[in-house]
Chain A
């Protein structure tokens, strides 16, 4: 069995055990007409709960001890590896910049890329986008450019670039990584639509950049023009 199959069995098994516990409890409830003595029914409920406990403890420990992510029975492998000094090695970190018709580049606000969670999108860009055929890359870039222009229109109208969790306002749950708000007022985006999207690759050495923030390399990897 592979990890996905084990994960599906772990969660599916839990669902079945929960159902069996609910059924056992229903048979022993105060309005139950189920057969058997109350003691026997109480034992059935206790047994079902014991099974749930054993299943949850066993399956979560399996995930944790083997460090195989059986989400939602997670291995919680957060920052478990050793960090390296070199950032953006194979493949490089990526940065999206939007370009207006005057050729000016704009840093992209993370909310403008909705419905994507920006860190998931950037991970996808890093590991999948560059392996696509050019025509497919253009398909993806065209969609992203459309999203950016919709967001630009909202910002020009005085709204937030994104719409997710809008009514929660500042109480909206942040993503796993924190991202700065770039498009905070109408002046931060151009009056005319973006016409191009550029993908840059970035590399740097952590200690060198700590001493001098300008010590990094940036290379144009891809450009899409409408």
Chain B
């Protein structure tokens, strides 16, 4: 490849990259993502008592990784301080959800949730994946950097202007797309992990039969105990579920690349999680965030992906 050709190729790639990440998007769609992420995080926060975990006897924290302290600024034994943090996080999330200084509230909530969430699993696991607050800290940070309060907000500071958000704009698309990427990665990375750790045999009938039984035999963790064992009886059905799961997870990035696919993939994802819940008693609280792909109704102006002029 000659130097001029390489330059042209680099320009084309850069232009496509920019065109992809800066689509025109409606302010309402970004605002809806803000409401959804904040409401979801608030729901999780109000359902737990992270601060109280700081007050359990020291013996429970003794085996916790020492990195917990500097990585999340956690020092068990300070429940009073943690209750203050927890209360502030709840207020910030409510502000972000309602649209009261939403960017500031999103930034504050992001940092505080990053600190609080590891308290749930910290005695055993340093990374609280799939406990409900995995996507929120990053998504809220992204919302803090984007004009997420230009629509669906109770109150907007004068400087944001009342006319902004009326038409699709590149100001809104990039942050929404990044948040959607975070959701898609739940499935994509899970698929990569299966391929790396187990290989193509992950989706085999034998493996799926064992998984279905695995999550239905310890009575301490079984609420829905009928569907899973029933499905496990049929080898062909277990094989079909395994193959469909692998295919579905690998197909999820399509939701980012091709907008019409969302009409199929989003309901499919919700159905997938409902199925996993009833068949395997596994709840992935972050799964509800798939709704960031839903478009807020009311405007006929369609977002576009034409590359920006500059």
| A→B interface (CB under 8 Å) | 2, 4, 7-8, 11, 14-15, 18, 21-22, 25, 29-31, 48-50, 52-53, 56-57, 60, 63-65, 67, 69-85, 87, 93, 95, 110, 114-124, 127-128, 131-132, 136, 139-140, 143, 163-165, 167-168, 171-180, 202, 204, 206-207, 209-210, 213
| Residues of chain A within 8 A of B118, CB atoms compared | 71
Among A31, A79, A110, the most chain B Cβ lie within 10 Å of the Cβ of A79
Whole-angstrom distance between the Cβ of A160 and the nearest chain B Cβ: 13
Asked if A117 meets B197 with Cβ closer than 8 Å, knowing A76-B185, A164-B47, A178-B283, the reply is no
Q: Which of B185-199 contact A (CB under 8 A)?
A: 185-190, 192-194, 196-198
B161, B187, B189, B281: the one contacting A77 at CB < 8 Å is B189
- Once A139-B59, A143-B56 are accepted as A-B contacts, the answer to whether A87 and B174 lie under 8 Å apart by CB is no
Contact A78 to B284, CB < 8 A, known contacts A71-B134, A72-B134, A87-B217? yes
B224 touches A178 (CB 8 A): yes
* CA A90 to CA B130, docked complex, whole Å: 25
Contact A207 B193 (CB under 8 A): no
Known: A49-B145, A74-B129, A178-B224. A206 touches B217 (CB 8 A): yes
Is the beta-carbon distance between B214 and A87 smaller than 8 angstroms? Answer: yes
Please determine whether A53 and B186 come into contact, CB atoms closer than 8 angstroms: no
How many angstroms between the C-alpha atoms of A172 and B44 in the bound complex? 8
Instruction: Determine the residue in chain A with the shortest Cβ distance to B129.
Output: A74
CB distance from B61 to the nearest CB of A (A): 10
Is B27 positioned at the interface, with any CB of A under 8 Å from its CB?
no
> A18-B144, A143-B56, A179-B223 known; A72 and B135 CB under 8 Å?
yes
Question: Known contacts A18-B145, A49-B174, A71-B128: does B277 contact A178 (CB below 8 Å)?
Answer: yes
Scan residues 42-88 of chain B and give those whose CB is less than 8 A from a CB of chain A.
43-44, 46-49, 52-53, 55-57, 59-60, 62-63, 65, 67, 70-71
With known contacts A22-B144, A57-B181, A168–B125 Cβ distance under 8 A: no
Size bracket, chain B contacts: 35 or more
Task: Identify the interface centre among B55, B71, B127, B174: most chain A CB within 10 Å of its CB.
Answer: B127
Q: Are B284 and A139 in contact (CB under 8 A)?
A: no
B213 within 8 A of A: yes
> Which of A31, A48, A177, A202 is most buried by chain B, counting CB atoms within 10 A of its CB?
A177
Residue of chain A at shortest CB distance from B193: A80
Q: Which residues of A contact B133 (CB under 8 A)?
A: 72
Contact partner of B67 (CB less than 8 A), chosen from A4, A29, A73, is A4
Complex: how many Å from CA A209 to CA B220? 15
Q: Which of B212-246 contact A (CB under 8 A)?
A: 213-215, 217-224, 229, 232
Are A82 and B198 within 8 A (Cβ)?
yes
Q: Which residues of B contact A84 (CB under 8 A)?
A: 210
A173 touches B47 (CB 8 A): yes
- Tell yes or no: B111 within 8 A of A by CB: yes
List 18 A-B pairs, Cβ < 8 Å. Answer: A4-B67, A18-B141, A64-B193, A76-B130, A76-B188, A78-B130, A80-B194, A83-B211, A85-B210, A114-B49, A116-B53, A124-B123, A136-B62, A168-B43, A168-B47, A176-B284, A177-B221, A178-B222
